[in-house]
Amino acid sequence: MVVAEGKRWRFAMVCSSNMNRSMEAHSQLGRAGLDVESYGTGTHVKLPGPSLHEPNVYDFGTPYGAIYDDLRRKDPDLYKRNGLLPMLKRNTSVKLAPQRWQDNAGDGVFDMIMTFEERVFDLVVEDMNNREPKLMKSVPIINMDVKDNHEEAGVGAKLAVELCQKLEAIDGDWEEIIDDLITGFEKQHKRRLAYSIAFY
């Protein structure tokens, strides 16, 4: 794919529940002026509950504001202390509700898809491979493992912004330099990236 000078890339950030890692990246990419959407690959949106065996489970599409109100009603102290209420407040300023990657075909074509967990990467690759390519437009799917906590999500999002800016700045065919770009990024940040190429 040849990128015309000044072409805007469209980025997708994907984690499991479209709550923490993908939303922190969505927020930071948006603030950096990049064109970005975000998704989760899970069956449901799962958030920590009062114990490991009692998660809070919601359907994708449930507004972040409604989840915020529900948790605040259940136990405001617990969910403020564990960071869920501040996280949901941040999410409401980014978009309305969590979206599921597997249901997003109508959202159009992305120039790069980034995941934050190997299992999520595998699900996105599988989903893209199951779609019938119509445009024969290649898209890199890049995974960078990021622990699912607020601090690591912030670090991962900063790195995602840097990687996306490097990609958008490529003059010419990204497929020719993606290996070198990823190797350089890994050395610079001591992070291992995996990537695959899929087609729209």
User: End-to-end distance of the chain based on CA atoms, in angstroms?
Assistant: 12
pLDDT tens string 126-137: 999 999 999 999
Length of the chain measured in residues: 200
CA distance 23 to 19: 6
pLDDT tens string 150-165: 999 999 999 999 999 9
Cβ 12 vs Cβ 27: under 8 Å: no
pLDDT tens string 102-115: 999 899 999 999 99
- Of the candidate CATH numbers 3.30.365.10, 3.40.50.2300, 1.10.3720.10, 3.40.1280.10, the domain formed by 10-42+100-199 belongs to 3.40.50.2300
Domain boundaries, the chain: 10-42+100-199, 45-94
pLDDT tens string 52-81: 999 999 999 999 999 999 999 999 999 999
Distances (CA, A) of 163 to 40, 103, 186: 20, 26, 10
Percent of the chain at pLDDT exceeding 90: 95
Q: DSSP letters of 143-186?
A: EE---SSHHHHHHHHHHHHHHHHHHHT--EEHHHHHHHHHHHHH
What is the model's pTM? 0.95
